[in-house]
Amino acid sequence: MSQHGTLLLFETIIPTENASSFSKLFDLNMLVMTGGRERTEEEYQVLLQKAGFQLTQVIPTPSPISVIEALKI
């Protein structure tokens, strides 16, 4: 990836408020089936920063999947 490249992730985002959400079901499924987990926007921000990226925007879609855009720093 070039020094100023753009990374796009297609992921479900766990909402921070305590409300029912389809992405929370995805989270449980990943935990049980693979030992993985879904993340909140803030958790993606920290994860991307540790990997040398800056989260620039989260674009919701009509589906449970959002587009996460990050720039290489």
Question: How far is the C-alpha of 33 from the C-alpha of 40, rounded, in Å?
Answer: 20
Q: What is the predicted pLDDT for the residue at 27? A: 85
Whether 17 shows a pLDDT value over 90: the answer reads: no
Whether 10 shows a pLDDT value over 90: the answer reads: yes
Phi, psi of 50 (to 5 degrees): -65, -25
> How would you label 49-58 residue by residue, b for 16+ Cβ within 10 Å and e otherwise?
eeeebebeeb
Residues ≥6 apart with Cβ < 8 Å to 3: 72
Q: What is the predicted pLDDT for the residue at 25? A: 83
Q: What is the pTM of this model?
A: 0.85
Quick: pLDDT tens for 28-40.
888 999 998 899 9
Phi, psi of 64 (to 5 degrees): -70, -10
